[in-house]
Amino acid sequence: MSLEDILWNWSQYATFPCKPNTKQPATRQGFKDAKFGQDVMTFINQGYNVGLACEKSGIVVIDVDYHDENSTAMEDLKQLEN
Protein backbone atom coordinates (compact mmCIF):
# COMPACT_ATOMS: atom_id res chain seq x y z
CA MET A 1 0.00 0.00 0.00
CA SER A 2 1.39 3.41 -0.94
CA LEU A 3 1.61 6.45 1.34
CA GLU A 4 -1.12 8.07 -0.75
CA ASP A 5 -3.40 5.07 -0.16
CA ILE A 6 -2.82 5.25 3.57
CA LEU A 7 -3.46 8.98 3.70
CA TRP A 8 -6.61 8.63 1.59
CA ASN A 9 -7.97 6.04 4.01
CA TRP A 10 -7.59 8.54 6.87
CA SER A 11 -10.52 10.47 5.37
CA GLN A 12 -12.79 7.66 6.57
CA TYR A 13 -11.89 8.39 10.19
CA ALA A 14 -12.42 11.33 12.54
CA THR A 15 -9.00 12.93 12.96
CA PHE A 16 -7.51 15.93 14.71
CA PRO A 17 -4.04 17.50 14.85
CA CYS A 18 -1.74 16.87 17.81
CA LYS A 19 1.15 19.07 18.86
CA PRO A 20 4.41 18.10 17.16
CA ASN A 21 6.11 15.02 18.62
CA THR A 22 3.36 14.54 21.24
CA LYS A 23 -0.02 12.91 21.71
CA GLN A 24 -1.42 16.20 23.06
CA PRO A 25 -4.24 17.65 20.93
CA ALA A 26 -3.47 20.93 19.19
CA THR A 27 -7.11 22.03 19.20
CA ARG A 28 -9.10 23.72 21.93
CA GLN A 29 -11.46 20.78 22.57
CA GLY A 30 -9.02 18.01 21.69
CA PHE A 31 -10.57 14.84 20.30
CA LYS A 32 -14.01 16.50 20.40
CA ASP A 33 -12.81 18.66 17.48
CA ALA A 34 -12.13 15.58 15.34
CA LYS A 35 -13.73 15.61 11.89
CA PHE A 36 -14.12 13.16 9.05
CA GLY A 37 -12.49 13.86 5.69
CA GLN A 38 -9.72 16.12 6.92
CA ASP A 39 -6.57 16.52 4.86
CA VAL A 40 -4.19 14.61 7.12
CA MET A 41 -1.27 15.42 4.82
CA THR A 42 -1.72 19.09 5.73
CA PHE A 43 -1.32 18.24 9.43
CA ILE A 44 1.83 16.28 8.68
CA ASN A 45 3.32 18.95 6.39
CA GLN A 46 2.75 21.56 9.11
CA GLY A 47 4.65 19.42 11.63
CA TYR A 48 1.65 18.07 13.54
CA ASN A 49 1.01 14.49 14.55
CA VAL A 50 -2.37 13.00 13.70
CA GLY A 51 -4.86 11.96 16.37
CA LEU A 52 -7.69 9.53 15.77
CA ALA A 53 -11.01 9.85 17.63
CA CYS A 54 -11.79 6.17 18.05
CA GLU A 55 -15.36 6.33 19.37
CA LYS A 56 -16.44 8.90 16.80
CA SER A 57 -14.79 6.77 14.09
CA GLY A 58 -16.57 3.66 15.32
CA ILE A 59 -13.43 1.69 16.07
CA VAL A 60 -11.66 0.21 19.06
CA VAL A 61 -7.87 0.34 19.31
CA ILE A 62 -5.82 -1.88 21.57
CA ASP A 63 -2.40 -0.40 22.24
CA VAL A 64 -0.01 -3.09 23.40
CA ASP A 65 2.96 -1.44 25.07
CA TYR A 66 5.51 -3.92 26.21
CA HIS A 67 9.08 -2.98 26.92
CA ASP A 68 10.19 -6.17 28.64
CA GLU A 69 11.75 -8.78 26.35
CA ASN A 70 10.04 -11.47 28.46
CA SER A 71 6.60 -9.93 27.95
CA THR A 72 3.84 -12.20 26.69
CA ALA A 73 1.56 -9.30 25.76
CA MET A 74 1.32 -10.16 22.07
CA GLU A 75 0.69 -13.84 22.75
CA ASP A 76 -1.97 -12.93 25.31
CA LEU A 77 -3.64 -10.64 22.78
CA LYS A 78 -3.58 -13.32 20.09
CA GLN A 79 -5.37 -15.70 22.46
CA LEU A 80 -8.19 -13.17 22.81
CA GLU A 81 -8.76 -13.42 19.05
CA ASN A 82 -9.68 -17.10 19.34
Question: Rounded distance, CA 20 to CA 13, Å?
Answer: 20
Q: What pTM value is reported for the model?
A: 0.74
pLDDT digits (tens, 9 = 90+) for 28-64: 999 999 999 998 889 999 999 999 999 999 988 887 7
**CA distances from residue 22 to 13, 19, 47, 51, 75 in whole angstroms, order as listed:** 20, 6, 11, 10, 29
3-state class (DSSP) for residue 45: helix
pLDDT at 3: 59
Query: What are the residue ranges spanned by the domains of the chain?
Result: 3-81
